[in-house]
């Protein structure tokens, strides 16, 4: 997993609530057996018309936001399907952090598996960033160690994050490797359960 | 205060599966891991790259469901015209063979939608932890199992360790009390709950459904209710197991037999919320006040009674919600204030992990019997599994549907998400028994109205959204 420490990047405003994972990456891109290359499907129906031409009005198609590294979005971002293709597509496009008032649970989890930072801020702070991101200077800075977001005008907002998740994100740790260090505890649990609930064995 | 009180059903399942705990993060043992073709190829690739094994192939079950066409399945993957979809199915076939995982491939009568197959085979049991790379894994909570969707990295984690790293969610109880009016059922309850709490209302919680109306539901109804829990933002829904649960499970292929059955039932009966358990949040709904419900917009919280009208964007509280409502009305081709029954239907889809079980098909067939699908409407029925399909045929439901003008298809996820060839065309309006009315979900530009199987059948006959009570 990619580590996340700090980021200075252009922020793109996406002022809609309930942006679901079907919008982030539609179904036709889920048929891949690879993780890479999903940027082409990111926000496909927002970005392209039926002939596959770019829709100039969509924020990520505008020259000022083409290299955005941060999305500022409405409430409940990432709801819907569990597809990890959503964070894969965002990262493949170059988005490294998403700021919203809230995230759907499974998407939030999936972000931390991939080094994509979901930042939860208060409604008025998200609105402020949304407004500033529409302006000429729309570079925000995110410092994970300090748990802060600095707006283009220099306002600093702090955010909460689970300390374990933060630590893993800062180092880009592999969760499986870490869990396998507890293999003997898993062995013990399994032998205990095999005795207590024998009908589950050999199912 | 917490120490003094009893435990919730969720607390009990959680406690029974903690392998180790550190700083509020638990390594939680997973009893059953369901897998399918779409969210697993990258997980197996990860295992291979790190030379890791599958820890418990015997606790893993694979099906082919998201991509499969709903005809010609006896041909196996050769029936799949799409090269990418075929490769994904072939990849699953190779992976399960290499790692020794049980698999019901396309064409196997036991195959079907993963959340129909698990319970049907008796693999889903009370008190279990169950995960799958699919958000509707919440379905299995109907059995009193802690079940939720995970991403592909977590699929890889479970394959390698049979555990998941989890922080505990909060407890939320939804009580539905009383008797529903005729024509109202689990789907209407679920839509009413989501309409009440919103699509993010359950975020961070596990929801336990309780109350006399929930107790009175069949297992199929409970599965519908738990299935839609994720649409309210909660990852998992739960119903405490009872005689209805045990009756459903008895004699299924993977449930214990003989003395082991008694032992298992004794264990399952320990899974309920204690009288003095404390819930962080609780709401109570009166079943009698819930009407047959449909969605008008592009989020499952956009719910209206079938007797109601399309709301005005101004009626929403926040700017982002108002913007979303304006966008939704435009996308759906509806106007504020319009009675929802004015919406003319092009396609009817009866199927999906929400509503494709035998009871769902029976309730739709009851409305369709002796009637005709309206002219110009394409109506399809996609049973949830080969076994559901066979049972429906034994009961003659296929004949009822066909006589009424419905297509009788083979099992799979189908038009719920349109990964296979069953898709809406731009602008087509669909009465659908599925779970998501998101933009483009059933096909680019497609307009989805969620509703119960009986309501979808009524819409097929009427040619527009209709009140099922006029058809009873």
Per-residue pLDDT of B252-272, as tens digits, reads: 999 999 999 999 999 999 999
* Residue whose entry in the numeric block shows the structure tokens 């917009």: B297
Q: Is the same domain home to A49 and A115?
A: yes
Nearest Cα of chain B lies from the Cα of A150 at a distance, in angstroms, of: 22
The parent domain of residue A179 ranges over 173-203
How many beta carbons lie within 10 A of that of residue B81, not counting itself? 11
Q: Is the same domain home to A154 and A195?
A: no
Query: How many folded domains does chain A comprise?
Result: 2
**pLDDT score recorded for residue A201:** 84
Hey, are the CB atoms on A114 and B20 less than 8 Å from each other?
Answer: no
Of B59, B66, B91, the CB nearest to A33: B91
Q: How far apart are CA B273 and CA B276, in angstroms?
A: 8
Quick one: closest CA in A to B41, which residue?
A33
**pLDDT score recorded for residue B260:** 95
Q: Is the same domain home to A158 and A179?
A: no
Q: Does any domain span residue A36?
A: yes
What is the per-residue pLDDT across A13-61, written as a single tens digit (0 to 9) for each? 999 999 999 999 999 999 999 999 999 999 999 999 999 999 999 999 9
Q: Is the same domain home to A177 and A155?
A: no
Contact (CB, 8 A) for B405 and B373: yes
Q: How far apart are CA B419 and CA A24, in angstroms?
A: 16
Nearest Cα of chain A lies from the Cα of B179 at a distance, in angstroms, of: 31
Q: Does any domain span residue A25?
A: yes
Q: How far apart are CA B85 and CA B418, in angstroms?
A: 12
**pLDDT score recorded for residue B3:** 59
Q: How far apart are CA A31 and CA B41, in angstroms?
A: 10
- Give chain A's radius of gyration (CA, Å): 19
Q: Is the same domain home to A26 and A94?
A: yes
Of B42, B160, B445, the CB nearest to A34: B42
Q: In what order do the strands lie in the sheet with B236-238?
A: B236-238, B205-210, B170-177, B281-286
Q: How far apart are CA B68 and CA B76, in angstroms?
A: 9
Residue A64 sits in a domain whose CATH number is: 3.20.19.10
Hey, are the CB atoms on B151 and A106 less than 8 Å from each other?
Answer: yes
Contacts of B230 in chain A (CB under 8 A): 106
Q: For the residues B111-117, what does the mean pLDDT come to?
A: 98
Q: Is the same domain home to A186 and A157?
A: no
Task: Flag whether residue A22 sits within 8 Å of chain B, measured between CB atoms.
Answer: yes
Nearest Cα of chain B lies from the Cα of A96 at a distance, in angstroms, of: 18
Q: Does any domain span residue A177?
A: yes
Quick one: closest CA in B to A163, which residue?
B23
Task: Provide the chain A residues 25-54 that lie in CB contact (below 8 A) with chain B.
Answer: 26-28, 30-35, 45, 50
Hey, are the CB atoms on A105 and B235 less than 8 Å from each other?
Answer: yes
What is the per-residue pLDDT across A112-168, written as a single tens digit (0 to 9) for each? 999 999 999 999 999 999 999 998 889 999 999 999 999 999 999 999 999 999 999
**pLDDT score recorded for residue B287:** 98
Contacts of B58 in chain A (CB under 8 A): 202-203
Q: Is the same domain home to A191 and A97?
A: no
Quick one: closest CA in A to B16, which residue?
A193
Task: Flag whether residue A15 sits within 8 Å of chain B, measured between CB atoms.
Answer: yes
Taking the C-alpha atoms of B134, B437, B191 and A104 in order, what is their torsion angle to the nearest 10 degrees? 50
φ/ψ bin of B175: left (φ > 0), alpha (ψ from -120 to 50), beta (otherwise): beta
Query: pTM for the complete prediction?
Result: 0.97
Q: Does any domain span residue A141?
A: yes
Hey, are the CB atoms on A82 and B133 less than 8 Å from each other?
Answer: yes
Q: Is the same domain home to A200 and A131?
A: no
Task: Provide the chain B residues 30-49 that lie in CB contact (below 8 A) with chain A.
Answer: 31, 38-39, 41-42, 45
Task: Flag whether residue A194 sits within 8 Å of chain B, measured between CB atoms.
Answer: no
Residue B1 — very low, low, confident or very high, per pLDDT cuts 50/70/90?
Answer: very low
Contact (CB, 8 A) for B35 and B103: no
Contacts of A84 in chain B (CB under 8 A): 39, 42, 133, 151-153
Q: Does any domain span residue A108?
A: yes
Contact (CB, 8 A) for B177 and B212: yes
Q: Is the same domain home to A76 and A107?
A: yes
Mean pLDDT of chain B: 97
Task: Provide the chain B residues 386-415 that lie in CB contact (below 8 A) with chain A.
Answer: none
Hey, are the CB atoms on A106 and B135 less than 8 Å from each other?
Answer: yes
Contacts of B87 in chain A (CB under 8 A): 31, 33
What is the per-residue pLDDT across B412-460, written as a single tens digit (0 to 9) for each? 999 999 999 999 999 999 999 999 999 999 999 999 999 999 999 999 9
Q: Does any domain span residue A167?
A: no
Q: Does any domain span residue A1?
A: no
Q: What is the DSSP letter of B442?
A: T
Q: Does any domain span residue A168?
A: no
Q: Is the same domain home to A138 and A53?
A: yes
What is the per-residue pLDDT across B347-382, written as a single tens digit (0 to 9) for each? 999 999 999 999 999 999 999 999 999 999 999 999
User: DSSP string covering B194-238, please?
Assistant: HHHH-TTTTTTEEEEEESHHHHTS-HHHHHHHHHGGGGGT-SEEE
What is the per-residue pLDDT across B202-226, written as a single tens digit (0 to 9) for each? 999 999 999 999 999 999 999 999 9
User: DSSP string covering chain A, please?
Assistant: -----EEEEEEEEE--S--BHHHHS-GGGTT-S-SS-GGGGTTHHHHB-TTS-B-TTSGGGSGGGTT--EEEE-SSBTBS---THHHHHHHHHT--EEEES-B-HHHHHHHHTTT-EEEE--HHHHHHHHHHHTSS--EEEEETTTTEEE-TTS-EEE----HHHHHHHHHT--HHHHHHTTHHHHHHHHHHHHHH-GGGTT-
Contacts of A184 in chain B (CB under 8 A): none
Q: How many CB pairs under 8 A join A and B?
A: 194
Decide if pLDDT at B2 tops 60.
Answer: no
Quick one: closest CA in A to B257, which residue?
A199
Q: Is the same domain home to A40 and A107?
A: yes
Interface pTM, i.e. ipTM: 0.94
Two structure tokens written together for B179:
């008797």
For testing the chain A interface, which of B88, B114, B151, B234 should be mutated: the one with the most A CBs within 10 Å? B151
Q: Is the same domain home to A139 and A99?
A: yes
Q: How far apart are CA B184 and CA B174, in angstroms?
A: 18
Contacts of B134 in chain A (CB under 8 A): 81-82
């Amino acid at each position: 997993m990619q580590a996340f420490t700090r980021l200075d990047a252009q922020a793109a405003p996406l002022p809609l609530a309930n942006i679901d994972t079907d919008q982030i990456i539609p179904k036709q891109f889920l048929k891949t057996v690879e993780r890479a290359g999903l940027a082409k499907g990111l926000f496909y129906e927002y970005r392209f018309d039926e002939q596959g031409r770019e829709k100039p009005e969509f924020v990520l198609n505008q020259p000022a936001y083409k290299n955005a590294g941060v999305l500022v979005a409405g409430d409940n971002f990432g709801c819907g399907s569990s597809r990890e293709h959503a964070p894969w597509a965002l990262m493949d496009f170059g988005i490294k952090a998403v700021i919203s008032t809230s995230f759907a649970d499974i998407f939030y989890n999936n972000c931390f598996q991939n080094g994509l930072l979901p930042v939860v801020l208060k409604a008025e702070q998200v609105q402020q960033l949304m407004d500033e991101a529409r302006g000429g200077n729309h570079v925000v800075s995110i410092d994970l160690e300090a748990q802060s977001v600095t707006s283009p005008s220099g306002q600093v907002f702090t955010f909460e994050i689970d300390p374990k998740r933060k630590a893993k994100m800062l180092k880009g740790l592999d969760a499986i490797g870490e869990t396998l260090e507890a293999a003997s505890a898993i062995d013990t649990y399994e032998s205990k359960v095999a005795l207590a609930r024998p009908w589950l064995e050999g199912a | 205060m917490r120490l003094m009180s009893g435990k919730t059903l969720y607390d009990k399942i959680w406690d029974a599966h903690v392998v180790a705990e550190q700083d509020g993060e638990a390594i939680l043992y997973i009893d059953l891991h369901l897998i399918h073709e779409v969210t697993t190829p990258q997980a197996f690739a990860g295992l291979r790259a790190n030379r890791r094994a599958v820890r418990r192939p015997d606790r893993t079950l694979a099906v082919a469901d998201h991509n499969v066409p709903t005809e010609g399945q006896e041909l196996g993957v050769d029936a799949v015209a799409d090269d990418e979809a075929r490769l994904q199915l072939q990849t699953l076939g190779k992976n399960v063979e290499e790692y020794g995982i049980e698999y019901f491939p396309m064409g196997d009568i036991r195959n079907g939608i993963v959340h129909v197959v698990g319970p049907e085979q008796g693999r889903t049991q009370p008190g279990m932890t169950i995960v799958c790379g699919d958000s509707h894994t919440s379905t299995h909570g109907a059995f009193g199992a802690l079940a939720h969707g995970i991403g592909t990295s977590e699929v890889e984690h479970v394959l390698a360790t049979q555990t998941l790293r989890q922080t505990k969610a909060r407890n939320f109880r939804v009580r539905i009390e009383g008797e529903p009016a005729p024509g109202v059922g689990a789907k209407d309850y679920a839509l009413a709950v989501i309409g009440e709490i919103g699509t993010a209302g359950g975020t961070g919680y596990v929801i336990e459904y309780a109350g006399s109306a929930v107790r009175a539901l069949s297992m199929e109804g409970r599965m519908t209710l738990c299935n839609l829990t994720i649409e309210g933002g909660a990852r998992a829904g739960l119903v405490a197991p009872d005689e209805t649960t045990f009756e459903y499970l008895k004699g299924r292929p993977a449930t214990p037999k003989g003395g082991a059955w008694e032992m298992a039932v004794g264990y399952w009966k320990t899974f309920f919320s204690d009288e003095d358990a404390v819930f962080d949040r609780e709401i109570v709904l009166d079943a009698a006040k819930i009407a047959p419900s449909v969605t008008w917009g592009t989020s499952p919280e956009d719910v209206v009674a079938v007797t109601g009208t399309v709301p005005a964007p101004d009626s929403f509280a926040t700017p982002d919600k108002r913007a979303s409502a304006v966008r939704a009305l435009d996308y759906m081709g509806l106007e504020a204030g319009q009675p929802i029954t004015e919406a003319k239907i092009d396609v009817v889809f009866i199927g999906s992990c929400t509503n494709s079980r035998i009871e769902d098909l029976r309730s739709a067939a009851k409305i369709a019997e002796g009637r005709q699908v309206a002219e110009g409407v394409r109506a399809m029925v996609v049973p949830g599994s080969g076994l559901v399909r066979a049972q429906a045929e034994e009961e003659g439901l296929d004949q009822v549907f066909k006589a009424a003008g419905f297509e009788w298809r083979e099992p799979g996820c189908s038009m719920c998400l349109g990964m296979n060839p069953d898709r809406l065309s731009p602008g087509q309006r669909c009465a659908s028994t599925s779970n998501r009315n998101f933009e483009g979900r059933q096909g680019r530009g497609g307009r989805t109205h969620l509703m119960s199987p009986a309501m979808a059948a009524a819409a097929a006959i009427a040619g527009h959204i209709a009140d099922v009570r006029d058809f009873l």
